[in-house]
Amino acid sequence: MTFQQVFGYEPAVRYSAPGRVNLIGEHTDYNDGYVLPFAIDRRTTSDIAPREDRVIRVASSFDPEGGPVSLSLDELEPARMAGWSAYVFGIAWALREQAGADLSDRTGFDVFIDSDVPVGAGLSSSAAIECGVALAFTDLWELGLDRKTLARVGQYSENHAVGAPTGIMDQSASLLGEQDAVVFLDCRTLDTAVVDLALEANGLEILVVDTRVEHAHATGGYKARRDSCEKGAEVLGVPALRDVSVDDLPRAQELLDDETFRRVRHIVTEDQRVLDTVRTLREQGPRAIGSLLVASHESMRDDFEISVPELDLAVSTAVEHGAVGARMTGGGFGGAAIALVDREARDRIAAAVTTAFASAGYREPTVFTVHAAQGARRDA
């Protein structure tokens, strides 16, 4: 299905935005902490044409209903949005509500979404939609908003229009990513730095193992973890867990119940691992970060309890067969794991993971490589 097949004419312009892989720094974003994602070479495209009225019509290649969903700019409210189209309508609403854009004299668009970012794999297919649409609407409406503002718009939309309590990491990676580099993001100040990954020069690749165990951020597990983090910060008397150091953990253990303490310990140690990874990449290069990736996975498995057996098997099998390091990535409760592997070992490690899944009776995973890529852009 194409824009022309749905709307009966050719689009005026195409924008695209990438999914993301988080190298390290999981669930730290909504705790005002540090993250280290990169944009990937899997993208969502938005084919768009302006309309003469104030209606936005949205369709996509992955909508089983096929036909467009319509909403007027005069009716932009979360209660009127449902399903995947909320990721598009929500951006228009958030541009008005969060960024203060005046849409009173704007006309609408026809929008067609297509994507090769796997849905449900933890690679943020949702942020890819949001960021491509946000950049397109900003350009076409001539709003003059910078990319850091658009990241906040995307997060606001996902939190309040879609109803998923996510942080700002995914949108930042999708908008700010660069070739063969990671985005070091301070989620409190929104300061960013681009850090070279240098995988090509070191003969390394990132292997993604999509377990095909789907997750949904808007449902219970993610929210429960966020609630635990807020509870921990309140008891410890800090604005956010970003303000708790590793040296503070003994005191935290005295004050918190066991579950809340383990949630807090993951966030605090994960923040430190992000800082250690940035320093290690700069000083020693990517081959030296393997133990940090593994420690991150163990923390998510044992302290934050967001892994699943399929993710654990992917990580352990990759490491056993020679990966530099591996960890689950994304919000958890399914999705994908990543492994940092030598290029010549990629196929062997991928085959070992697939075989291990078959032996365990799990659904066959989808295994592929990704490369750090450019963020959201106008393509044509």
The answer to whether residue 170 is catalytic is: yes
- Tell me the C-alpha distance between 76 and 112, whole Å: 19
Q: Rounded to the nearest 10 degrees, how much is the dihedral formed by the CA atoms of 312, 198, 344, 292? A: -30
Closest C-alpha to 62, from 18, 137, 113: 113
Closest C-alpha to 194, from 70, 39, 343: 39
> Which amino acid makes up residue 245?
S
- Tell me the C-alpha distance between 328 and 169, whole Å: 16
Q: Helix crossing, 86-97 with 125-140: angle to 10°?
A: 50
230 exposure class (CB count in 10 Å sphere: 0-12, 13-18, 19+): middle
Closest C-alpha to 62, from 10, 128, 11: 128
Number of Cβ within a 10 Å radius of residue 99? 16
The residues that bridge with 128 in the sheet, in sequence order, are: none
List of residues 6+ apart from 127 with CB closer than 8 A: 17, 19, 20, 154, 158, 170, 171, 173, 174
Place of tokens 């708790």: 244
239 exposure class (CB count in 10 Å sphere: 0-12, 13-18, 19+): exposed
- 29, 47, 110, 170: the catalytic one is 170
Q: Using only the alpha carbons of the chain, give its radius of gyration.
A: 21
> Which amino acid makes up residue 198?
A
Cα–Cα distances in angstroms (integers) from residue 277 to residues 35, 159, 185, 212, 230, in the given order: 10, 29, 13, 28, 26
Closest C-alpha to 1, from 56, 51, 62, 48: 62
- Tell me the C-alpha distance between 261 and 195, whole Å: 32
3-state secondary structure of 118: coil
What is the token pair recorded at 310? 């399929």
Which residues are marked as active site? 170
